[in-house]
Amino acid sequence: MAEKEKPRLSRLTAIITQLQSKRVVTANYLAKRHNVSVRTIYRDIRTLEKTGIPIVTEEGKGYSIMEGYHLPPVLFTEDEANALITAEQLVIKNKDQSFSDNVSSAMEKIKSILKYSQKGNADLLADRVYFSGNQNQDKTSDNLMQIQSALIHFRVLKITYLSSESKRTTRDIEPFAIYSINGNFLLIAFCRLREDFRAFRIDFIDSLIPQDETFTQHNMTMQKYFEEYVRKQKHP
């Protein structure tokens, strides 16, 4: 009996974690994550509600935990802790100061809830994991966090941009997405000056000022952007 219940207990614990990590989680998403039926997820949600966890059902959207309600932090397995430490070392190699600072701060909070034995292992692993590239940990930008904030809040940014040809322009942009290539972060944004989507290297942004103005979300996806980019390259 106990052996049959153990997988469900693990699944219920994981569902709680997933509800805390996202604003809304659908039953289909949970069913696929745990390889069970949607009906099983419905039963799991009812079970969690009976234990006193305030789960909010949003019709047509999914489930969330009532705002302001927090459960005690979960414990990490050794593999999960190791994965986080390794990811931290990878992030430290990036070239944006604001990103590195915030990830390091977040990792300190995560390490604070590790088991005592895990903390020593985490320190050992951090000293023994190396990623090639940017060995001097040079920082060429300090804008990524402000850009991310503007992106999720649909806030217009005024930037002064120095192109690869050393041409300086000032323009208002509407952030859409961020991606990394060859160690450099690029911002995809709708440029009001060019009246089209453009890619900006973040380390080429000389100054950045968030504006009070917001914009309406664009009907654009990363796939559509890259398809359009390829088309323009073939037919300039």
Single residue among 12, 32, 65 that ends a domain in this structure: 65
Q: What is the pTM of this model?
A: 0.65
Q: What is the CATH number of the domain that holds 58?
A: 1.10.10.10
Query: Among 23, 17, 123, which Cα is nearest to 73's?
Result: 17
Instruction: Kindly state whether residues 167 and 190 are assigned to the same domain.
Output: yes
Asked whether the beta carbons of 214 and 175 are under 8 A apart, the reply is: no
Is the domain of 169 the same as that of 224?
A: yes
* Structural domain includes residue 109: yes
Structural domain contains residue 158:
yes
Place of tokens 């019709």: 59
* Domain containing residue 36: 2-65
How many domains does the chain divide into?
3
Q: Are residues 154 and 219 in the same domain?
A: yes
| Average pLDDT estimate for 147-157 | 95
- The residue with greater pLDDT, 170 or 140, is 170
- Residue 1 banded pLDDT, cuts 50, 70, 90: very low
Question: Residue 123 falls within a domain, yes or no?
Answer: yes
Contact call for residues 198 and 171 (beta carbons, < 8 A): no
Same domain, 61 and 87: no
Mean pLDDT of 44-70: 88
Closest CA to 204 of 150, 177, 166: 166
- If asked whether residues 229 and 198 sit together in one domain, one would say yes
85 and 149 both lie in a single domain: no
What is the per-residue pLDDT across 8-20, written as a single tens digit (0 to 9) for each? 787 888 888 888 8
The candidate with the shortest Cα–Cα distance to 69, out of 16, 9, 15, is: 16
